[in-house]
Structure 1
Amino acid sequence: MASSMDLATGAGSSDPAVGLRAVASLRRLAEQLEALQVARARELGWSWSRIAAELGVTKQSVHQKHGGRDTAAKRG
């Protein structure tokens, strides 16, 4: 995995192939971090509304994106 410095440098590259790969890696990293933080917030009893407010999205969108994980965790 590339370091954050490598990703930042790559995102600013004049070579579109390098830049786009860096953007894709940053997107994957952001998605992983979001999933981890949403799971943690739910473990701490945060409501979907509160999580959505912190992310700047609607309650429906955050629940649709992460709600299945919440249910799966309770079953496991």
Structure 2
Amino acid sequence: MPSTIVDGMTEKTLAGAAAGDDPAEGLRAVRALRDLADRLETLQVERARGLGWSWQDVADALGVSKQAVHKKHGRRI
């Protein structure tokens, strides 16, 4: 399982920081959330492909084109 701590912040503090009043902290939290989302996407794409999903199935689930998902993840899998 992916860690719930990203860039030294827990999920709870990430959400609070991203919506908070300090732009430096908020932007750091946004970056950390992006990194976490990217890692989770890669994990789930690998799982889906391992279970026999087509690139089109993955693309449909992510709401992107088949070409976009294959370009982003095709080399890793």
Task: Tell me, yes or no, whether TM beats 0.5.
Answer: yes
- Residue identity over aligned pairs, in percent, reads 57
Segments of structure 2 that go 5 or more residues without pairing to the other structure are 1-7
Indicate the structure (1 or 2) with the bigger Cα radius of gyration: 1
Once residues 61 and 10 of structure 2 are traced to their aligned partners in structure 1, the CA distance between those partners, rounded to angstroms, is: 27
* 1:54 pairs with 2:32: no
Counterpart CA distance in 2 for 1:24 and 1:67 is 24
Aligned to 1:11: 18
What 5-or-longer segments of structure 1 have no aligned partner?
71-76
Higher strand content, 1 or 2: 2
Structure 2 Cα separation of the partners of residues 23 and 37 of structure 1: 21
TM-score (norm 1): 0.90
Paired residue total: 70
Q: CA RMSD in A?
A: 0.6
